Amino acid sequence: MFQQDLLKGKKILITGGGTGLGKSIGRRYMELGAELVICGRRAEVLEATAKEHHEATGGKVSTHICDVRDAAAIDAMMETIWKDGPLDVLVNNAAANFIARSENLSPRAVDAVFNIVLHGSVYCTLAAGKRWIAAGRKGSVLSIASTQSFTGAAFTMPSAASKAGVVAMTQSLASEWGPKGIRLVAVAPGLFPTPGAWEQLFPEGSQAQDKRLEIPLRRYGEHGELANLCSFLVSDGAGYINGELVVIDGARWMQGVGGPNLVAMQGWTDAQWEAMRAKGRQ
């Protein structure tokens, strides 16, 4: 199914595509023939990833510095991208998350997550969608959600709430824009370790046991598995999948598991939480 030209002729933008899961997905898209566009806030990271992808695949990749919290910046980026040819696919991947007791969250802390995850995804989707609609073009939007969007998650409430909003956007616009030939789908990854984010979400002392024991398959997900799913969902072969949230977590959520380990962290002292906050500020 994953022949080398599966995504040939498709121009795909991945937000937050310079690192983590977005980087892995982008690499797979280029291996399958796509023209890739990645955006983020750090030019050096984007340039390094673009160079790595091009050297590995020989494909075309371009970069844009853009803060997805800024709707005007997104619109300006889309204008620049469209001058070189319209997008075919948007992947809403940019994310933010941290562990904290919700009663101690400031409005600024909540907005730090909402503005990237929910607002950024909505801004990007509307910016691409209005251009597709104006030109009478088909398009696809894939958003990276989470199982916490439908289970909730203690100590990461802003992320869970934001991802739930992204899923609601996906379902709403799948119905509204479907007649215009625009598909929207979402993916809810389970545990796919990435440098940096993994240590932030699962700090030392927060887990009562090996997290692989929470997963019926007894292993973490491999980036290639997620990238293949994301490739299929934006391909023409998935043309009748619309408005769906596809879970890829080894059935972890079915065991009632999601987010940090409640048994360990609900018993944390104020000193432990303060140490966690201090680490996050480093």
- Which tokens is 55 given? 């050297």
CA–CA gap between residue 24 and residue 136 (Å, rounded): 31
pLDDT of residue 239: 98
Report how far residue 217's alpha carbon sits from residue 192's, in angstroms, rounded to the nearest whole number.
13
Please tell me the distance from the alpha carbon of residue 172 to that of residue 154, in angstroms, as a whole number: 26
In this prediction, residue 266 carries a pLDDT of 64
The DSSP secondary-structure symbol of 209 reads S
The tally of domains found in the chain comes to 1
CA distance 221 to 226: 8
Q: What value does the mean pLDDT take over residues 25-29? A: 98
For 209-242, write each residue's pLDDT tens digit.
788 888 999 999 999 999 999 999 999 999 999 9
Q: Is the pLDDT of residue 208 over 60?
A: no
Residue 6 lies in a domain: no
Which of the two residues, 205 and 268, has the higher pLDDT score?
268
**pLDDT value of residue 269:** 76
Find the CATH number of the domain harbouring 189: 3.40.50.720
What's the confidence (pLDDT) of residue 59?
A: 97
Task: Please work out, in degrees rounded to the nearest 5, the angle formed at the alpha carbon of residue 90 by the alpha carbons of 83 and 16.
Answer: 100
- Let me know if residue 227 belongs to a domain: yes
Q: What is the mean pLDDT of the chain?
A: 92
Look at residue 144 and tell me if it is in a domain.
yes
Report percent pLDDT > 70 for the chain: 88
What is the token pair recorded at 197? 């984010």
Residue 77 has pLDDT above 80, yes or no: yes
Each residue's pLDDT tens digit, 239-269: 999 999 999 999 999 987 665 555 566 667 7
Mean pLDDT of all residues in 154-183: 97
Q: Which amino acid is at 103?
A: E
* Stronger pLDDT, 165 or 268, i.e. the higher one: 165
Yes or no: say if 175 and 73 are a contact pair by the CB < 8 Å rule.
no
Q: Is pTM beyond 0.75 here?
A: yes
CB-based contacts of 270, cutoff 8 Å, min separation 6: none
Does residue 195 have a pLDDT over 70? yes
Q: What is the pLDDT of residues 37-55, one digit of tens each?
A: 999 999 999 999 999 999 9
What is the pLDDT at residue 109? 97
Q: Which of 61-65, 170-174, 197-201, 223-227 has the lowest mean pLDDT?
A: 197-201
The answer to the question of residue 1 being in a domain is: no
Q: Domain range holding 82?
A: 11-281
Report if residue 4 sits inside a domain.
no
Q: Is residue 145 part of a domain?
A: yes
pLDDT band for 207, please (50, 70, 90 cuts): low
**Burial tier of 173 (Cβ tally within 10 Å: 0-12, 13-18, 19+):** buried
